[in-house]
């Protein structure tokens, strides 16, 4: 506790405190206007829950009543960054490559999570109007084709196990003919739209 108070006081005296609200009040009213005290002693495992209780009961995340930036204890959720801060963070991350292990861990963490319709709509709106380079479009096309081939191959192998080779080949051929017919029909529709 002493260390925490020391860190707060040191940052405030240096005019470098992370809470701009607390820094402004400290500058305006002076160090003697502030008291650092213990509201409650509790078990370390209950600290976050008790902190949240006091944030809520004292309304300390309300800028008119308190100095807490975060409305949630133990989390930075709810913090509103200024456009300048967002730009600084963006520039700091620009060009930084993630380690392959980190990318793999992120992929595993997101695997199987279903996105809501609202999330998909916002993503779509954010990407609308953005131009892709010819190289980027070619890479996307190749990735989609490779992914489609892998999925069809896996489906075909599963059917071979389930139905036997002859019947699986027959179903696969039927599906491929239908896929080709659908693709040709789509191309004809797109060509007809261009000539209208």
DSSP label at residue 18? S
Q: Over the stretch 161-195, which tens digit does the pLDDT of each residue have?
A: 777 777 777 777 888 888 888 988 988 888 888 77
- 41-54 pLDDT tens trace: 888 888 888 888 88
pTM of the model: 0.40
In angstroms, rounded to a whole number, what is the distance separating the alpha carbons of residues 184 and 38?
Answer: 74
Burial 21-56 (b: 16+ CB within 10 A, else e): ebbeebeeeeeeeeeeeeeeeeeeeeeeeebeeebe
pLDDT of residue 193: 82
pLDDT mean by block of 10 residues, the chain; 196 residues:
82 88 90 84 84 85 81 72 87 86 88 86 84 84 77 74 74 82 88 78
């Amino acid at each position: 506790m002493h260390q925490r108070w020391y860190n707060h006081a040191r940052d405030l005296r240096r005019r470098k405190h992370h809470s701009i609200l607390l820094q402004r009040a400290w500058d305006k009213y002076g160090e003697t206007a502030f008291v650092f005290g213990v509201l409650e002693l509790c078990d370390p495992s209950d600290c976050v829950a008790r902190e949240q209780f006091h944030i809520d009961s004292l309304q300390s995340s309300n800028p008119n009543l308190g100095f807490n930036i975060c409305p949630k204890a133990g989390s930075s959720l709810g913090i509103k960054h200024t456009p300048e801060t967002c730009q600084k963070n963006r520039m700091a991350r620009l060009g930084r490559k993630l380690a392959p292990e980190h990318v793999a861990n992120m992929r595993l963490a997101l695997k199987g999570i279903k996105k809501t319709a609202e999330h998909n709509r916002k993503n779509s709106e954010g990407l609308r109007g953005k131009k892709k380079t010819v190289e980027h479009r070619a890479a996307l096309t190749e990735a989609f084709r490779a992914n489609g081939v892998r999925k069809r191959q896996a489906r075909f192998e599963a059917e071979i196990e389930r139905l036997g080779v002859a019947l699986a080949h027959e179903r696969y051929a039927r599906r491929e003919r239908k896929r080709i017919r659908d693709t040709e029909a789509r191309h004809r529709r797109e060509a007809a739209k261009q000539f209208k």
